[in-house]
Amino acid sequence: MKDAIAKAFEESIQAKKSFLKENLSTLMTTIEVIAQAFLRGNKFLILGNGGSAADAQHIAAEFVNRFRIERPPLPALALTTDTSAITSIANDYDYKEIFAKQIKALGKEGDVVLAISTSGNAANVLAAIETCKKLKIITVGLTGGDGGKMARQVDYLLRVSEGKNTARIQETHILVGHVICEMVDQRLFSV
């Protein structure tokens, strides 16, 4: 058990180190894109399935409430929380449309969507990205492995390439979310 625990920690550390080495420039650009969207009065919409849905909610809450500093709330919304909208869309249309229809209703040109998918192949996430393109909404993909189909469709790709272990990918994703929150706060509120 001791060795298995140590191995899990080492894999997580290595995934994060590799991510930083491969994605630092894109992460910095993404942070600036999100900060500029807030300065323009645009929104930050976040989506994903399963654990990525939980991450979407977590990240949105950090922006709406606060992260590490006291500051005004920022307009972020997880598209994973309105069970009535999600279930009615899935029932009346298709599960693939649950995020795309919400983006059509709530999104506008200049908003930023963070699409989270560990594989990069979730059909409903890909449909959301396609909708964003039509509405001129900026897309950031947060994924793992080779990035899947998402890799070729988003404006900015943040990819955890180290291994295919979903848990290690998701652990890196939440760190990325926290770093985005902290750096956007620094950019907007000079802390």
CATH code at position 19: 3.40.50.10490
Judge contact between 149 and 126, C-beta under 8 A.
Answer: yes
N residues, the chain: 191
Name, in order, each residue with C-beta under 8 angstroms of 82's C-beta and a sequence gap of 6 or more: 102
Strand segments, DSSP code E, in the chain are 44-47, 76-78, 112-116, 138-144, 156-160
pTM score of the predicted model: 0.96
Q: Which candidate, 175, 123, 116, 178, places its Cα nearest to that of 144? A: 116
Q: Which long-range contacts (CB under 8 A, 24 or more apart) does 152-156 make?
A: 153/126, 153/129, 154/115, 154/129, 156/26, 156/29, 156/30, 156/33
Per-residue pLDDT of the chain (191 residues; tens, 9 = 90+): 999 999 999 999 999 999 999 999 999 999 999 999 999 999 999 999 999 999 999 999 999 999 999 999 999 999 999 999 999 999 999 999 999 999 999 999 999 999 999 999 999 999 999 999 999 999 999 999 999 999 999 999 999 998 679 999 999 999 999 999 999 999 999 86
- Structural domains counted in the chain: 1
- Other CB atoms closer than 10 Å to residue 83's CB: what's the count? 8
- What does the block give as tokens for 31? 């942070």
Expressed as residue numbers, the domain containing 117 is: 2-189
